């Protein structure tokens, strides 16, 4: 088994049990193929085992420290990680039919890997040479443990191309159709993991949708910006809204949204607009259309710290324009999945946008990064990206 030596500066990260190792902490070994399962040693002593990556800034990914699971068998380590994550989710009350995240990168000791469960299907996303090479083994173990019946590999993230990793969408176990039906707040929701964004459904907004569903929105009109497949609109309509207008650029997502509305008996209570949210908001303002509840869940507008200033201005403009078509006394749910933007900064942007329109705001619900993605280790702060606020403007 190949061994890779860690540099002295890696010691403090090893002490806090970090699972992602940056290239600057590792002695380079060009004789070891990328994605190889190796031993990592510090001062000549083996401390962990995992994948030697040499992918961008990432040098390696630890799967198990010797102190937590001393095995040099990759298959055994993968089985151990899966069993641990599965038991934790079951103890936490997760249900397959509702959908949940089984493996979340470093937080579950599987850096470079995400696995979401939708009913009987596991959707796998990798950003790692090692996990790419081990995907068949991973799929086999999940089926063996009864975690899923089908396993779909959805390696289509933009970042893969820049690292020289192939774009792949295929079943590892089982076969078509590439979709599942899940339940949320009593609604039937179609998840198309074959063509949908990310793993096919945004599980991280589950608590926000639950909170909206519990509201009394009798008779109000909702505007669902960046609506994707319509899950927020389902919550609003289920809470009594008389109508919801869904806006998204993705024609396929809107087609699924329409099916989801009809599956749950909301024919005639929704409208669809395909287009850029910014232009649609301008059109709504020109038509003097007003709504009582607006959902604004945009894609990340700050992809990296260097883009923060520009991205903050984009968030400010979006929320100001959204508030401009909101009825006085209305509700706004606004969120950000930009990691560089903190919760307090998002709240300040919302406060400024409200003030610009002459409103003060009252916070009714706060979606924190910890309840957006549960089971995350406290030290894995870089995995905590999503935050949101449900506010009432007065």
Q: Indicate which residues carry an active-site annotation.
A: 337
- Tell me how crowded residue 231 is: count the other CB atoms within 10 A of its CB: 26
3-state secondary structure 223-291: EEECCCCCHHHHHHHHCCCCEEEEEECCHHHHHHHHHHHHHCCCCCCEEEEECCHHHHHHHHHHCCCCE
User: What long-range pairs does 222-225 form, CB within 8 A, spacing at least 24?
Assistant: 222/291, 222/292, 222/293, 222/294, 222/295, 223/247, 223/284, 223/291, 223/293, 223/294, 223/295, 223/322, 223/325, 224/295, 225/277, 225/280, 225/281, 225/294, 225/295, 225/296, 225/297, 225/298, 225/322
Q: In sequence order, what are the beta bridge partners of 58?
A: 22, 55
| CA gap 304, 293 in Å, rounded | 30
| CA gap 135, 125 in Å, rounded | 10
Q: In sequence order, what are the beta bridge partners of 331?
A: 293, 392
Comparing CA positions, the residue from 268, 270, 330, 269 lying closest to residue 294 is 330
CB 165 within 8 A of CB 132: yes
54: region left, alpha or beta (phi > 0 left; psi from -120 to 50 alpha): left
CB 10 within 8 A of CB 23: no
Tokens 């883009």 -> residue = 307
């Amino acid at each position: 088994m190949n061994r890779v030596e860690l540099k002295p500066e890696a010691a403090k990260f090893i002490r806090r049990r970090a699972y992602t190792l940056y290239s600057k902490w590792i002695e380079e070994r060009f004789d070891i193929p990328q994605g190889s399962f190796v031993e990592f040693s510090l001062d000549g002593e083996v401390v962990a085992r995992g994948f030697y990556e040499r992918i961008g800034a990432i040098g390696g990914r630890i799967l198990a420290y010797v102190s937590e699971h001393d095995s040099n068998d990759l298959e055994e380590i993968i089985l151990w990680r899966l069993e641990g994550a599965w038991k934790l989710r079951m103890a936490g009350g997760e249900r397959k039919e509702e959908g949940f995240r089984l493996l979340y990168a470093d937080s579950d000791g599987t850096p470079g890997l995400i696995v979401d469960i939708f009913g009987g299907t596991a959707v796998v996303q990798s950003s790692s040479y090692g996990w790419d090479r081990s995907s068949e083994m991973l799929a086999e173990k999940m089926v063996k443990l009864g975690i899923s019946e089908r396993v779909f590999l959805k390696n289509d993230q933009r970042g893969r191309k820049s690292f020289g990793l192939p774009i792949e969408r295929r079943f590892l176990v089982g076969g078509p159709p590439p979709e599942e039906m899940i339940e949320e707040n009593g609604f039937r929701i179609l998840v198309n993991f074959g063509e949908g964004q990310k793993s096919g459904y945004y599980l991280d907004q589950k608590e926000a949708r639950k909170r909206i569903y519990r509201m009394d929105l009798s008779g109000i009109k909702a505007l669902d910006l960046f609506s994707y497949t319509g899950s927020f609109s389902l919550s609003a309509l289920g809470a009594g809204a008389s109508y919801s207008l869904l806006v998204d650029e993705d024609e396929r997502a809107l087609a699924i949204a329409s099916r989801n509305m009809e599956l749950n008996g909301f024919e005639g209570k929704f409208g669809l607009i395909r287009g850029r949210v910014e232009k649609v908001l301008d059109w709504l303002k020109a038509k003097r259309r007003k709504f009582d509840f607006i959902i604004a869940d945009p894609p990340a507008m700050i992809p990296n710290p260097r883009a923060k200033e520009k991205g903050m201005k984009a968030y400010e403009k979006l929320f100001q324009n959204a508030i401009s078509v909101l009825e006085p006394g209305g509700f706004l749910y606004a969120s950000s999945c930009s990691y560089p933007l903190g919760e307090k900064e998002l709240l300040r942007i919302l406060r400024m946008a409200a003030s610009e329109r002459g409103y003060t705001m009252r916070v009714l619900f706060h979606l924190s990064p910890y309840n957006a993605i549960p089971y995350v280790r406290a030290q894995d702060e870089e995995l905590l990206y999503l935050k949101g606020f449900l506010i009432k403007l007065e």
